[in-house]
Each structure stands twice: as C-alpha cells, then as structure tokens.
C-alpha cells in the first residue's frame, strides 16, 4: 500500500512563520525606540529648563563675578555652535555640545545651585 506523503505534512502556520516573527519584533523595536526617544527628549528638556532657570536668576543679579560672566559667555558660545542635522537624524554634534555645555555649567555648583548635573 502506498503511503500518502501529503497526509503527514501540515500546512505551515503563518502565525509562527519567521516573517511573522520578524514583523512582531520590528513592531516591538519601534515601540522601544519611541519610548527611548521620548525619555531622551524629556531629559534634555528638563536639563534645558534647569539651565534656563539658573540663567534667569543670574539675569536678575546686578554685579556678577567675572568668573560667572565667563561661564555665561562659554555657555552662549556652546549653544550657538550646536549644529544638528534633524532631517538626517544626527545628534553627534549636539551630544558633544551638551557634554561641553554641562561641563561648563557644572561650575555653577560653586554658587550653591544643583551640583550634580548628568550629561
């Protein structure tokens, strides 16, 4: 008697196919990237708000020490030099600028402001 070779084969289940698995993984990756982007943006905005508040306090002071004036000048230069490429998704320039900016602004801890600003 002949064996029916097609009877032992099952049709491939499209729900567990490698392509379906890849699609699921890509959807999860997209969610993760969006969540990461929102967290990164939120952290940057909070840091900008902190520096803005610090600069507002300095703007109210009449006689700033020369060191504080230099710090403010350094910060202005760094902010103006940041050259990002948003359409190309480049952030290297902004990342290095932020690192330099926070290094410069970390000097503000000597005035009794927040000391540990992370980059």
3-state secondary structure 19-61: HHHHHHHHHHHHHHHHHHHHHHHHHHHHHHHHHHHHHHHHHHC
CB count in 10 Å sphere of residue 51: 18
Residues of the chain short of pLDDT 70, as ranges, are 1-15, 90-119
The answer to whether the predicted template modeling score (pTM) of the entire model surpasses 0.85 is no
- Kindly state the percentage of the chain with pLDDT values over 70: 62
Rounded Cα–Cα distance for residues 57 and 48 (Å): 14
pLDDT of residue 111: 38
Rounded Cα–Cα distance for residues 114 and 108 (Å): 8
Tokens 């306090």, located at residue: 57
pLDDT of residue 1: 55
90 strand-pairing partners? 85
């Amino acid at each position: 008697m002949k064996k029916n070779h097609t009877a032992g084969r099952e049709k491939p289940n499209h729900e567990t196919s490698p392509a379906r698995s890849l699609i699921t993984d890509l959807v999860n990756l997209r969610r993760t990237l969006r969540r990461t982007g929102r967290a990164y943006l939120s952290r940057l905005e909070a840091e900008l708000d902190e520096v803005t508040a610090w600069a507002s306090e300095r703007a109210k002071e009449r006689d700033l020490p020369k060191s504080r004036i230099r710090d403010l000048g350094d910060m202005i230069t760094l902010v103006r030099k940041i050259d990002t490429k948003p359409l190309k998704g480049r952030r290297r320039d902004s990342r290095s600028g932020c690192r330099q900016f926070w290094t410069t602004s970390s000097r503000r801890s000597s005035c009794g402001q927040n000391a540990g600003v992370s980059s």
